[in-house]
Amino acid sequence: MSFWSSVENFFKQFTHANWAHTASVALSLAGPPAILIVQETLGSADAAQTTSVINEIQTDLATVSQLLSQAQSGDTSVKGQIRSLLGSIQANLASILADAHVKNSANAAKITSLVNAFSEEITVVLAMMPA
């Protein structure tokens, strides 16, 4: 098997609905450490707000996963909803950064890195979506 065939086979395992599920699982894993960083640096009120935003993002991802399953079944009417939800997720991610008044530069860098990485993945998915 050629290198490119291996790469192609690797990416074939990620269906659109699977991507949303994978992102949700990743957020489930990355969320608690991020919340802990916020808790330790900013306090419980900011940690509660961050938890709320992460929960909203996970709810949106679950809805995106369902809509992507519908789209794979031939329902093209859900594309706008998917784009809207992904835009909402990016806005929520941006709100985490805007609301985080982290004074410790190392912790700020960690939070910014996590949020930006997740947001960049959404940007890639939006760019790959057919119009």
Quick one: which of 97, 91, 89 has its CA closest to 114? Answer: 97
Residue that the structure tokens 């939800």 belong to? 85
pLDDT at 18: 63
pLDDT higher than 70, residue 1: no
pLDDT of residue 8: 52
pLDDT in tens, 74-103: 777 888 888 888 888 888 888 877 776 666
Classify residue 74 by its DSSP letter. T
14 pLDDT above the threshold of 60: no
Residue 6's pLDDT is: 56
Q: Are 99 and 46 in contact (CB under 8 A)?
A: yes
What band does 125 get if pLDDT is binned at 50, 70 and 90? Answer: confident
Q: Is the pLDDT confidence value at 124 over 70? A: yes
Least-confidence region, from 31-40, 44-53, 65-74, 102-111: 102-111
Q: Is the pLDDT of residue 106 over 70?
A: yes
Q: How far is residue 94's CA from residue 115's CA, in Å, rounded to a whole number?
A: 8
Q: Structural domain boundaries of the chain?
A: 16-128
User: How does pLDDT run across 54-73, given as a tens digit for each residue?
Assistant: 888 888 888 888 887 787 77
Task: Please tell me whether residue 75 adopts helix, strand or coil conformation.
Answer: coil
Q: Which amino acid is at 87?
A: G
- pLDDT at position 2, please? 54
